[in-house]
Structure 1
Amino acid sequence: MFRPLPLFIGLRYTRAKRRNHFISFISLISMLGITLGIVALIVVLSVMNGFHTEIRERILSMASHATLSGPDGSLEDWRELLERVRQHDHVVGAAPFVEIQAMLAHGGNVNGAVLRGIVPSDEDQVADLRRDMVSGSVEDLTDGSFNIILGQELAMVLGVGPGDRVTVVTPQLTASPIGIMPRLKAFTVSGLFSVGMGDFDNGAAFVSLEDGAKLLRLGDAVTGIRLKLDDMFRAPELSRQIALDLGGLYRVSDWTQSYRNFFQALHIEKRMMTIILFLIVAVAAFNIVSTLVMVVTDKRADIAVLRTLGASPRRIMAIFMVQGTTIGFVGTLLGAVGGVLLALNVESIVGSIERLFNVHFLDPSVYYISTLPSDPRLGDILFICGGAFVMSVLATLYPAWRAARTDPAEALRYE
């Protein structure tokens, strides 16, 4: 059977002989280093992807993909506009809303919150408030009832529960016999919700659309319309297109603008973690350099014989590149398989360890996410494996070049 000479000899050199077990041991360490580095990269990036996805879903369960509002902060003709928006090709759902920055007070407890007036049946199209209810029902937010739904942590800060009354203080001023006073209105707590995000659980409350409009003295107007799009990752592009299709007279914002700094921080964190963990693979690749340098030194006589038999420097170089590339390929393959298997089962593995040793890696009383969600992505896996393999190939160049420059006469002088 015909075998290319560099491939045949290079593969033979990867197998140990009695007198060079140490070199084979270093080769094994290099291979395991690449394997462990890739496993660590795949698992860590998969867990980070899972965290990012979980956080994004929790945020978007309350925040809309995009928001449409008037140039002066209110919409008068919102009913007609709502029907036009719902007919747009990329709009999945739309709901009117009224938004108020307010203070909530009960007894001596006071806390700020974003008070949002909604229509429960329409809100289901753009958010998952009904799913996040802990007690009570969204249907209790009827016009004129002056019921209010609070975040669970906000209710704890105020010291209230369902059936209690809270006082809502708005920035709108009212003239009274004793002077100018902020507007005050008492609401009855009809329910509690929990999203698992402090920004909402400790800083959001919901009332009916009409009750919210009365607080703001908007009359029949609303603050804006919240949109759910068919592709949330194209929200900036689609929201601008919707505004242009409606005549360009409306202001638009999307979730990437509202939470830009937060998601940018997550993106930078993932990038820096990737760079740090790639150093593990880089160290293993440098081990390949040291391994091949020792092999070249050990095989100087063999190289000289091959050169005298007519092997070109290019073939000599290819022999040692094959050996180093084999180490990198096997390590990359094992790392990819092990990393994917571990990433797919990391949640159950961590759960088993917690039950076995009676510990909690993510204490539910401290962290909102008490499990390790994992989301292995093909793009990340290909990038990691490709980068590791390229580093392994590059690590073979210098030792292979040194082998190709071996002088046969000098190498055989003392043989």
Structure 2
Amino acid sequence: MFRPLSIFIGSRYTRAKRRNHFISFISLTSMIGLSLGVLAMIMVLSVMNGFQREMSNRILGMVPHAVIAGDGQPVADWQTLAEKLEGHSGVLGAAPITQLEGMLSFKGSMQPIEIKGIDPGAEERVSILGSKMIAGKIGDLRPGESGVILGLMTARRFGLKLGDNLTLIVPELSDAPGGITPKMQRLNVVGVFKVGAELDGSLAMIHRADAARILRWQPDQVEGVRVRLADLYRAPEVAAELAAELGSGYRAEDWSLTQGSLFSAMKMEKTMIGLLLLLIVAVAAFNIIATLIMVVADKRADIAILRTLGMTPRQIMAIFMVQGSIIGLTGTLIGTVLGVLGALNVSALVSWLEKVTGQHIFSSDVYFISTLPSELRLEDVLLVTMAALVLSFLATLYPAWRAAQTQPAEALRYE
């Protein structure tokens, strides 16, 4: 089979046993370092993707993707509004919602809380609350009974159990000198949920009719209708479209206003960690420079002979570019294969380590998640692989250029 001379000699130099074992050792460590760098990048990026997926599913499964609310006035006929919204192609479900902020008080202890007034029958169309209940059920919220569903962190902080009573304090506009007076409402714990995020300590649910009573509205009035979207990352765009279709008198809010900073921080963190890990790959790739420089010094006589036989400087340069590229390609492919296998099995690996050591690496009592999530994405694998190959190729240029500059007479003078 025909092969260009430069490729033939370059691949032969790579396979041949060198007289200088130190050069072989440096070449091997460069390959291993490159493989480990690629392996680390793929696994870490996959784990960060898994964390982002878990946080998205848990947090955005509880908070509204978007809310279409009355512009300064409560919504009375929310059923009709929900039907209109569900007719939009990007909306998967709609349910009424009323949002309050206040303080919970129990035996002298207090904490801020975000209260959502919901309709138990319609809530399953827009949230994952039903699947996250660890005590009680959504149907236990009944109008007029002042029931409340709390997060697990809030229940633990106050030492609450089903049937306990606590006080909700909300601000209310009044004619008092300060303009605001506290309004107190007794609540009865009828359920506890666990999402596995900060919402477990900052969110509570009551019936929409009880929320209307606290705000002195009619029992059927709500703040607006929350919708669950097919593509939650298009929430600002879709929410604006929905409000525009309904006309004046409605305003739109979406999750990016309340949770956007969290997911922006997660995206920034992934980018920065990716850049830091890329430096590891770069260090391993540029070790190829040291390897090739020593190979060039070791092969000066061979280079001189090849030049006298008629090889051009460009062909000499190609020989060592091929040799360095083979080292980079081999290391990158090994790292990619191991990284993909590691990313697909990292959860099982952590479980095995916990079983062997008897220690819980991700204890549910300390962390929001008890397993190490991983989501392998093709674009991440391709990006890491291409970056490693490009850096490896760039590392071959200078040593190959130095080899091409070798003068035959000078190299053979002392041979």
- What residue number does 2:326 align with? 326
The range that moved more, 332-341 or 274-283, is 274-283
For the 8 Å contact 1:168–1:187, the answer to whether it is kept is yes
**Residue identity opposite 2:334 in structure 1:** L
Say which SS state the counterpart of residue 149 (structure 1) adopts.
strand
**Residue identity opposite 2:309 in structure 1:** L
**Residue identity opposite 1:296 in structure 2:** V
Distance 1:146 1:346 in 2: 46
1:160-309 matches, cutoff 5 A: 160-173=160-173, 181-198=181-198, 200-219=199-218, 220-247=220-247, 249-309=249-309
**Residue identity opposite 1:165 in structure 2:** N
Distance 1:386 1:135 in 2: 50
What is the CA-CA distance between 1:360 and the residue it aligns to? 2.3
CA pair 342-180 structure 1, distance change in 2 beyond 3 A: closer
Say which SS state the counterpart of residue 259 (structure 1) adopts.
helix
- Where structure 1 has 5 or more consecutive residues not aligned to the other structure, the ranges are none
What is the CA-CA distance between 1:256 and the residue it aligns to? 2.3
- Are positions 1:390 and 2:387 aligned together? no
Distance 1:73 1:404 in 2: 79
- What residue number does 2:95 align with? 95
- Are positions 1:136 and 2:136 aligned together? yes
- What residue number does 1:313 align with? 313
Kindly provide the CA deviation profile for residues 95-153 of structure 1, in whole angstroms up to 9, marking residues without a partner as x.
11111112222222222211111101211111011111111111111212221111122
1:122-133 matches, cutoff 5 A: 122-133=122-133
**Residue identity opposite 2:366 in structure 1:** V
- What residue number does 1:55 align with? 55
Distance 1:128 1:280 in 2: 41
What is the CA-CA distance between 1:154 and the residue it aligns to? 1.3
**Residue identity opposite 1:207 in structure 2:** I
What is the CA-CA distance between 1:173 and the residue it aligns to? 5.0
- Where structure 2 has 5 or more consecutive residues not aligned to the other structure, the ranges are none
- Are positions 1:376 and 2:372 aligned together? no
For the 8 Å contact 1:148–1:206, the answer to whether it is kept is yes
- Are positions 1:34 and 2:43 aligned together? no
CA pair 46-263 structure 1, distance change in 2 beyond 3 A: same
Distance 1:172 1:143 in 2: 21
Kindly provide the CA deviation profile for residues 144-184 of structure 1, in whole angstroms up to 9, marking residues without a partner as x.
222111112212223321111122222125689xx985322
Kindly provide the CA deviation profile for residues 222-246 of structure 1, in whole angstroms up to 9, marking residues without a partner as x.
1121111111122222222222222
Say which SS state the counterpart of residue 252 (structure 2) adopts.
strand
For the 8 Å contact 2:118–2:205, the answer to whether it is kept is yes
CA pair 229-18 structure 1, distance change in 2 beyond 3 A: closer
What's the TM-score once normalised by structure 2's chain length? 0.95
Kindly provide the CA deviation profile for residues 377-403 of structure 1, in whole angstroms up to 9, marking residues without a partner as x.
110010001000000000000000111
For the 8 Å contact 2:172–2:180, the answer to whether it is kept is no
Kindly provide the CA deviation profile for residues 282-308 of structure 1, in whole angstroms up to 9, marking residues without a partner as x.
111121000100111111111111111
Say which SS state the counterpart of residue 368 (structure 1) adopts.
coil
The range that moved more, 31-40 or 74-83, is 74-83
**Residue identity opposite 1:143 in structure 2:** P
CA pair 75-180 structure 1, distance change in 2 beyond 3 A: closer
For the 8 Å contact 1:105–1:167, the answer to whether it is kept is yes
Distance 1:34 1:10 in 2: 20
What is the CA-CA distance between 1:207 and the residue it aligns to? 1.1
Kindly provide the CA deviation profile for residues 253-287 of structure 1, in whole angstroms up to 9, marking residues without a partner as x.
22223212111111111111111111111111121
- Are positions 1:355 and 2:352 aligned together? no
Distance 2:201 2:20 in 1: 66
**Residue identity opposite 1:140 in structure 2:** D
For the 8 Å contact 2:113–2:202, the answer to whether it is kept is yes
Say which SS state the counterpart of residue 221 (structure 2) adopts.
coil
For the 8 Å contact 1:65–1:255, the answer to whether it is kept is yes
What is the CA-CA distance between 1:18 and the residue it aligns to? 5.0
- What residue number does 1:340 align with? 340
For the 8 Å contact 2:336–2:385, the answer to whether it is kept is yes
Say which SS state the counterpart of residue 121 (structure 2) adopts.
helix
What is the CA-CA distance between 1:213 and the residue it aligns to? 0.6
Report runs of 4+ in structure 1 exceeding 4 Å deviation: 173-176
1:74-153 matches, cutoff 5 A: 74-153=74-153
State the aligned residue count: 412
Distance 2:248 2:318 in 1: 64
**Residue identity opposite 1:217 in structure 2:** R
For the 8 Å contact 1:174–1:183, the answer to whether it is kept is no
Kindly provide the CA deviation profile for residues 186-209 of structure 1, in whole angstroms up to 9, marking residues without a partner as x.
2221111111112x2112111111
**Residue identity opposite 1:288 in structure 2:** I
Distance 1:389 1:253 in 2: 45
- Give the percent of matched residue pairs that are identical in Structure 1 and Structure 2: 51
**Residue identity opposite 1:42 in structure 2:** I
Distance 1:74 1:400 in 2: 74
